[in-house]
Amino acid sequence: MRLGADLQAFAARIGHGFARPDLLVRAVTHASIATPTRPDNQRLEFLGDRVLGLVMAEALLAADRAASEGQLAPRFNTLVRKETCAAVAREVGVGDVLKLGRSEMMSGGRRKEALLGDAMEAVIAAVYLDAGFEAARGVVLRLWGSRIGAVEADARDAKTALQEWAQARGLPPPAYTELGREGPDHQPVFTVEVRLSTGEAEIAKAGAKRQAEQAAAKALLARMENPNG
């Protein structure tokens, strides 16, 4: 099998020449266009998630030899979560080479965070199966790049941090409410409010409900920790 020009260019962008081009084709094939003779990328996604996790765990241990498990775990979660995989996918143009069914394509599948993140994990698995762990590690470290060194010393997600802040003060967990959803189905904008039992609240908007919740939590936590700021 020979790769088309678009996939050849993509392979060059991630820095790996495939001895088995069929692996890359499978990695970018979404279930919406799969057939019995054209498998989708779901099994590769499963494997890629584990390969990515091992690479990140090793990288974090090497980057900070004094960090405790409690410090490393949130950093790890930040680097392997779907949003980060999708961000890396956008940088290397995964969306441009995704093979999608017509309905998924019409609904903006090339921009969907879940599809991009899943495909990025599948690509990592494709490299691993094509050339082994060292090759996969090299690709991951190149693509994640400065994210590894720049991950926050305390990378707990904002929702967890806000909940811990509330619990430490004897308060129940913050409540999240979706206030609205605007825009087309393929590019929605969610408006979410987070509120403490004591009445303080913040509102945020984002292209995914979870992102809006995180943004609202971050804003509220910042206000509660620095009320005079």
Tell me how far apart the alpha carbons of residues 75 and 84 are, in angstroms, rounded to a whole number.
12
49 as an active site residue: the answer is yes
Measured in whole angstroms, the distance separating CA 131 from the mean position of its chain's CA atoms is 24
Tell me how far apart the alpha carbons of residues 136 and 52 are, in angstroms, rounded to a whole number.
8
121 as an active site residue: the answer is yes
Catalytic residue, chosen from 49, 113, 193, 202, is 49
SS3 of 84-103: the string is: HHHHHHHHHCHHHHCECCHH
Tell me how far apart the alpha carbons of residues 127 and 57 are, in angstroms, rounded to a whole number.
19
Rg (CA), the chain: 20
Catalytic residue, chosen from 45, 121, 130, 157, is 121
Known catalytic residues?
A: 49, 121
